[in-house]
Chain A
């Protein structure tokens, strides 16, 4: 009996190892010929600051979908909400590069819980944007109606503390609701009134939905839930 068990164990082990070796050689094809990221050297600010320019403080392994439709996995990136740019740390030379914005369509940041946060580049022209290639937004909900969050970081007035100037950065998220007609509405503040103003013809239905589901539209969570419910209920604007 022991022999049989021992043999079975060996068979399983070798089978796995043999299959793995083949799998590895085939996955090599993709890694060897994966497209190359392009960008310019990024020099981090050395000025003392309060608050963060980055959405994610740590370099996280991420996937990037390029505008050519190709995907690159396992790259270490950070999203800079102040510049609205993606910064890549090249692990071969440890230099940081600001990736060419128009080359990036989407990216997925892996967070500590092993889940991913999906970002997308929207071709929206923002008067405050430094780059004409659109804006990066987090995909909060997608369907007939979509909700995107731009994790914008703003530079507030410099603060003088103990004879030293501090740059103050503050998170100032913006919310974009995409209608079935592909029109975008931007919400700079979250409340029931601004939300209902986006859908003037559906005010009654939406008010009822908010009341029945006890949605708090002053919170991001409440807004996402509202858009999800609108998609589930098949609401058409």
Chain B
């Protein structure tokens, strides 16, 4: 008995250790981390930024198949984000490009990349790196840069004693072909390759090795679900007067379309709701409405911004610039030349086979459709109901209209109001459509039977499609909300030009980015070859290969080449 008493604390201690270890392990098993690779670190406003985003399992460092959406933000110090980009992630990888606005002023910018699921770990887990962006016409360039003691990771170095990146030469003439051979890796790897002119100074870029080593397992904080299918929109229903959370409120979402469409969510104890926005909602106007709001209340919907960052970026900026002015001036000149000669190359959109977006239709049954053009012109919806909709009854009480439909069983009118849809959008009030006459209405669909949509029940449906999207002209009520959904950034590829194919040999061909391939598959056992051409731009170039192998090992190699004038090539 005494032995048992003595052993009990020991067993309890072991229990506690085991619980902590396994909970941590299980949590870390589903935590994500992001690494963002950009083609360069210095840009001129108006140029394209090519990127590759890795979404990895924080514990194994392997590519994560959990989140299908990623977020990239570009922001200046103490400012709101300049660019917000949502990218589609496939098997832990997203690549594409975005164009920097021409209007950006010179300075240091921060790139932040994350997935919604990473919000559980806190914003400190988001990927952050800095870019220098210079206005094309800013010759003074008196912006401040961040002080960095680190050496540019893109400077020439080889990870191994034997060169992993082998080029056919070290020195090239302008417009000459460069043949590159990449060495073997211990297993298959997906890497990005960029060849860009070296800025010749330090930068604040984080290498993939540094980023991966810096990750730590954090506790899960909030209930952010992984966006494993599509974007998840979060919001809250509150009482506008008391700011109290409203639970079990039903939030309806639909958007303008030629078919009535619906999605709904119910708020939890904290007044929170979440909705999955598939490709169907990309770039569309979203109409949120609360169903069955009690009279006299002031319920309100508030949406979360998926891009929201709690604090503005406040780096310690110093006056000195680490990038040489001559390099930036040269970059400005190159962009100006390309603009003047119209030799800029736009990224081309990748031809992907995409599935038709799924519309969450309210019904998929045969309906009675009535076209107003088949009848004489009628002034308003009341007249239309009386003359051509025999199953619809409109009554007026205290200056407000109510609609009723013939019930399922007989000629009696149902005691509850039907659902009204205008241009595919659920409208909470029939009075919004009463002013619509034959001149505005194209088609009316009526379903008299009691309908279900998931757990929602509607006592018939009246769907009106107008000739010129009248829904966009309606005024939302206090319990409704209208927002525009963003678009997923389309996947675009860099176009590598063979200068020998340019018809006019006198056309200048200046490039600071010679090559960018975000998705190069290394087979592991074999060498991989690639080729590109140099441009008329004389300088030192970095050839950088960055990626993650199948087993989660970072791949990070770089090498240098030089482009010099043809005369000097002969001398060398």
Q: Which residues of A contact B (CB under 8 A)?
A: 3, 6-7, 10-11, 14-15, 17-19, 21-22, 25-26, 28-30, 32-33, 35-41, 43, 67-70, 88, 90, 92-93, 95, 97, 100-103, 132
The answer to whether A41 touches B452, judged by C-beta atoms less than 8 angstroms apart, is: yes
The answer to whether B226 touches A10, judged by C-beta atoms less than 8 angstroms apart, is: no
Bin chain B's interface residue count: 35 or more
Q: Which residues of A contact B91 (CB under 8 A)?
A: none
The answer to whether A36 touches B454, judged by C-beta atoms less than 8 angstroms apart, is: yes
The answer to whether B452 touches A40, judged by C-beta atoms less than 8 angstroms apart, is: yes
Q: Which residues of B contact A19 (CB under 8 A)?
A: 22, 26, 29
Return 9 A-B CB contacts under 8 Å, by A number.
A15-B25, A21-B26, A28-B225, A32-B274, A38-B453, A40-B447, A41-B408, A69-B355, A90-B455
Q: A7-B14, A14-B18, A100-B363 are in contact. Are A29 and B452 (CB under 8 A)?
A: no
Q: A15-B22, A68-B358 are in contact. Are A22 and B452 (CB under 8 A)?
A: no
Q: Which residues of B contact A37 (CB under 8 A)?
A: 452, 454
Q: How far apart are the CA atoms of A40 and B25 in the complex, in Å?
A: 48
The answer to whether B276 touches A33, judged by C-beta atoms less than 8 angstroms apart, is: yes
The answer to whether A38 touches B362, judged by C-beta atoms less than 8 angstroms apart, is: yes
The answer to whether B454 touches A22, judged by C-beta atoms less than 8 angstroms apart, is: no
Within 8 A of A (CB), among B346-366: 355, 358, 360-366
The answer to whether B22 touches A38, judged by C-beta atoms less than 8 angstroms apart, is: no
Closest to B28 in A: A22
The answer to whether B457 touches A95, judged by C-beta atoms less than 8 angstroms apart, is: yes
Q: How far apart are the CA atoms of A10 and B19 in the complex, in Å?
A: 9
Q: Which of B7, B275, B276 has the most CB of A within 10 A?
A: B276
Q: Which residues of B contact A (CB under 8 A)?
A: 7, 11, 14-15, 18-19, 22-23, 25-27, 29-30, 66, 225-226, 228-229, 232, 262-264, 274-276, 355, 358, 360-366, 408-409, 447, 449-455, 457
Q: Which residues of A contact B66 (CB under 8 A)?
A: 26
The answer to whether A41 touches B450, judged by C-beta atoms less than 8 angstroms apart, is: yes
Q: Which residues of B contact A103 (CB under 8 A)?
A: 364
The answer to whether A43 touches B29, judged by C-beta atoms less than 8 angstroms apart, is: no
Number of A-B residue pairs with CB-CB distance less than 8 Å in the complex they form: 112
Q: A14-B19, A35-B360 are in contact. Are A29 and B229 (CB under 8 A)?
A: yes
The answer to whether A32 touches B451, judged by C-beta atoms less than 8 angstroms apart, is: no
Q: Which of B262, B275, B457 has the most CB of A within 10 A?
A: B457
Q: A33-B229, A38-B361 are in contact. Are A18 and B23 (CB under 8 A)?
A: yes
Shortest beta-carbon distance, A3 to chain B, in Å? 7
Q: Which residues of B contact A32 (CB under 8 A)?
A: 225, 274, 276
The answer to whether A102 touches B451, judged by C-beta atoms less than 8 angstroms apart, is: no
Q: A18-B23, A100-B364 are in contact. Are A38 and B11 (CB under 8 A)?
A: no
Q: Which residues of A contact B451 (CB under 8 A)?
A: 38-41
Q: How far apart are the CA atoms of A129 and B76 in the complex, in Å?
A: 66
Closest to B262 in A: A36
Q: How far apart are the CA atoms of A33 and B275 in the complex, in Å?
A: 7
Q: Which residues of B contact A93 (CB under 8 A)?
A: 455, 457
The 4 closest A-B pairs by CB, nearest first: A36-B454, A33-B276, A18-B26, A41-B450
Q: How far apart are the CA atoms of A22 and B453 in the complex, in Å?
A: 30
The answer to whether B228 touches A26, judged by C-beta atoms less than 8 angstroms apart, is: yes
Closest to A2 in B: B7
Q: Which residues of A contact B11 (CB under 8 A)?
A: 3, 6-7, 10
Q: Which residues of A contact B15 (CB under 8 A)?
A: 10, 14
The answer to whether B365 touches A18, judged by C-beta atoms less than 8 angstroms apart, is: no
Shortest beta-carbon distance, B209 to chain A, in Å? 28
